[in-house]
């Protein structure tokens, strides 16, 4: 009887561990941001996006509607954080990396490059954050 109880208890522990692992794996593909404010101004495929936050953790891909199908766009990216890690990745339509910019605490980092929009006129980018506090992402773009 005690052995059955022990086996049942061990089986329950294994199921819980696997379940927790699956939950953690699913959370690695989402971005949790607190205190986010975002403004975007896009006209004729040119404009800017400014997003600031109090705290961020995780990873997510985002899309910016530019309305310029399958076009090269000059992008200037600026990132800053007070503490933690923040990385901005600009993506090509096929998912390859156009360029990456990594923030450093208490410094504003700038990088620019050409990025192609997809056939729907969307500019894709990814945000990766680990314990990021008081950060900002700025994108300026023009055809």
Hey, what domains does the chain have and what are their CATH numbers? 31-142 (2.60.120)
What sign results for the dihedral spanned by CA atoms 34, 138, 82, 97?
Answer: positive
What's the pTM value of the predicted model, to 2 decimals?
0.77
- Whether residue 75 contacts residue 49, with contact meaning beta carbons closer than 8 Å, is answered with no
pLDDT of residue 31: 85
pLDDT of residue 20: 43
Low-confidence ranges of the chain (pLDDT < 70): 1-29
pLDDT of residue 28: 46
């Amino acid at each position: 009887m005690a052995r059955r109880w022990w086996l049942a208890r061990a089986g329950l522990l294994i199921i819980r561990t696997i379940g927790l692992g699956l939950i953690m794996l699913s959370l690695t593909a989402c971005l949790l941001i607190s205190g986010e404010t975002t403004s975007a101004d896009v006209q004729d495929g040119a404009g800017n996006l400014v997003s600031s936050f109090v705290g961020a953790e995780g990873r997510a891909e985002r899309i910016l509607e530019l309305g310029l199908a399958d076009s090269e766009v000059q992008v200037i990216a600026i990132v800053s954080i007070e503490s933690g890690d923040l990385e901005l990745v600009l993506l090509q339509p096929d998912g390859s990396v156009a360029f990456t910019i990594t923030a450093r605490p208490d410094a504003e980092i700038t990088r620019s490059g050409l990025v192609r929009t997809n056939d729907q006129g969307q500019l894709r980018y990814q945000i990766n954050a680990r314990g990021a506090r008081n950060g900002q992402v700025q994108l300026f773009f023009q055809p």
